[in-house]
Amino acid sequence: MTILGVDPGSRITGYGLIVWEDGRAQALDFGCIRAREKASLCERLSEIYRAFREVLERSRPDYAAVEDIFYQENVRSAFQIGHARGVILLALAQAGLRVEEYAPAEVKRSVVGSGSASKGQVQFMVQHLLGLSEPPEPYDASDALAVALCLAHRIGAGR
């Protein structure tokens, strides 16, 4: 089965597609959708939506997981990330996918064993678990792969 993980952002959205078979994961595709920095929020959301729809059409995943919003002191940033999550969730719903949502600490715990792991530790473990020759970059992509692995582990454990 194929699983798409997403790390939403209002400027950079990471995605990671893995295949999960017999308790083993393999990376199929990963990368980032980059919205123009100088564009308005509405324009960035439209760019993210269109590019993410292309990722969905190309990858056709069986399952999807999206990282939930984490606590931020900057309320404006949290709202902008929430808007980006909204367009991602819309695209996934339009594709007919059931979506699981995981808090960042839950993703870290699933991949590293600690909910307070650093982005570098997550990246290292994602590289190790997927047998990649190089660390997946940038962090947005490695975080998205970690989200996909989190769902794979839940499926493997019977949720």
The residues assigned a catalytic role are 7, 67, 140
Q: Are 44 and 36 in contact (CB under 8 A)?
A: yes
**Four-point Cα dihedral 134, 154, 61, 115, nearest 10:** -50
- Give one word for 22, left, alpha or beta, with left for phi > 0 and alpha for psi -120 to 50: left
What is the distance between the alpha carbons of residues 72 and 3, in angstroms, rounded to a whole number? Answer: 28
Neighbours of 154 (CB within 10 A): 16
Give the N- to C-terminal CA distance of the chain in Å, as an integer.
Answer: 15
Q: Which of 118, 23, 16, 21 is nearest to 67 (CA)?
A: 16
